[in-house]
Amino acid sequence: MSKAIYLDYNATTPIDPAAAQAMLPVLYGSYGNPSSSHEHGLAAKKLVDKARSQVSGLLGCGTDEVIFTSGGTESNNYAIKGAAWAYRERGQHIITSAIEHPAVLEVCEWLEQQGFRITILPVDSTGTVNPQDLEDALENDTILVSIMHANNEVGTIQPICELARLAHSRGALFHTDAAQSVGKIPVNVLQLEVDLLSVAGHKVYAPTGIGVLYVRSGISLAKFMHGAGHESGRRAGTENVLEMTGLGAACEIARIDLDKNMAHYRQMRDRLESGLIHRLGSKQVHINGHPEKRLPNTLSLSFYKIEANRLLDRISPNVSASAGAACHAGDVHLSTVLQAMKVPVDWAMGTVRFSTGRGTTAEQIDTAVEVVSQAVRELA
């Protein structure tokens, strides 16, 4: 077990102890197949039903609108490919943004090779999509708009409801990748007015290998996983009862504790932010992302003319965080997000993402401030 302070909760979260506890009986005792009609099967089906209702409680949707998947990547693939193939007779145009996760951008690139037209919307320097740009990009044959709820690197939160309304006004579906927002800010599919929404279990204190695609009732998607009739015929494969149980419990905890968690994440993030700015000064540190419309746990900092990987190497015995740029043999490779936000290279090359979580303490943050500011001074 690493002794380093974990400030990389946007990469993955530990399993909530109560979620792990909920999984134990499934791991050791209940082994029925939910499709079987005998007692073991019915008991397993009950667990799946419970998990589905816990997820629907968090997202504010119906239980029949929750499709379990293997994670955020699969949910995004299913939403975008499923909508593209289902509606291709109506149109072949899809709109997304420049700061999406590869699980969206690569899917769109692949669809382009299959003959679809893809428009990639720019973002401004805060990482926000301008609704006017979407309005201008919408065409009569636009079938889908996919724009993430909150960005994984800089935390910027998009005006999803406004964007979804624009898409709907032209008859297009709206998908949002909410892998980073679920459990960190309110995510209610009715308030967001989205048709499709992706959830990643391992970002919400559930295990890795489980996720959800919310599919608004009445929307048909082309089948992604062919086989038997699981998940109302939408996703074949015997249910992963163990992980569904873990995700269900994690979603219930996320719903009940949302306000408390949000306040804690923000308090810890702000302590780190002000500690580092106070130590290093604004000439050496720049905050990326929207000043207010930003995930409460996310802090993307650019350190002037410092190589992010060298900084991470130096702090890694004490602090775990992640880089927004990599330098190889003198070449700087910036993340697509920082490029899209037009962060100048001298700043972008030294970009590190810190993300706080439930286990973060004030003492950890104070130590991290010491460790990071000292490493920056040594490398400057």
Ligand X SMILES: Cc1ncc(COP(=O)(O)O)c(C=O)c1O
Catalytic residue numbers? 327
Adjacent-strand bridge partners of 146:
96, 175
User: Is-contact 179 101, C-beta < 8 A?
Assistant: yes
Q: How far is the CB of 244 from ligand X (least distance, A)?
A: 15
- One residue of 72, 155, 246, 296 binding ligand X per CB under 6 A: 72
Between residues 208 and 316, which has the closer beta carbon with respect to ligand X? 208
Q: Which of residues 201-260 bind ligand X (CB under 6 A)?
A: 202, 211
- Phi and psi based region of residue 155 (left: phi greater than 0; alpha: psi -120 to 50; beta: remaining): left
Q: How far is the CB of 240 from ligand X (least distance, A)?
A: 13
Total residues at the site for ligand X (CB under 6 A)? 14
Which residue has the closest beta carbon to ligand X?
72
Between residues 148 and 213, which has the closer beta carbon with respect to ligand X? 148
Dihedral over Cα of 59, 142, 77, 322: its sign:
negative
Stretch that binds ligand X, among 66-74, 121-129, 231-239, 277-285 (CB under 6 A): 66-74
Q: How far is the CB of 276 from ligand X (least distance, A)?
A: 23
Copy the structure tokens of residue 285.
């540190």
Between residues 32 and 82, which has the closer beta carbon with respect to ligand X? 82
Binding of ligand X by 152 (CB under 6 A)? yes
Burial call 54-82: b when 16+ CB within 10 Å, e when fewer:
bbbbbbbbeeebbbbbbbbbbbbbbbbbb
Q: How far is the CB of 38 from ligand X (least distance, A)?
A: 33
Q: How far is the CB of 377 from ligand X (least distance, A)?
A: 31
In 54-137, beta strands by DSSP E? 66-69, 93-97, 117-121
In 246-356, beta strands by DSSP E? 285-288, 298-303, 319-320, 322-323, 325-328, 331-334, 351-355
- One residue of 148, 315, 343, 352 binding ligand X per CB under 6 A: 148
Binding of ligand X by 175 (CB under 6 A)? no
- Please state, in angstroms and rounded to a whole number, the distance separating the CA atoms of residues 243 and 255: 18
Instruction: Give residues in contact with ligand X (CB under 6 A).
Output: 71-73, 76, 101, 103, 148, 152, 177, 179-180, 200, 202, 211
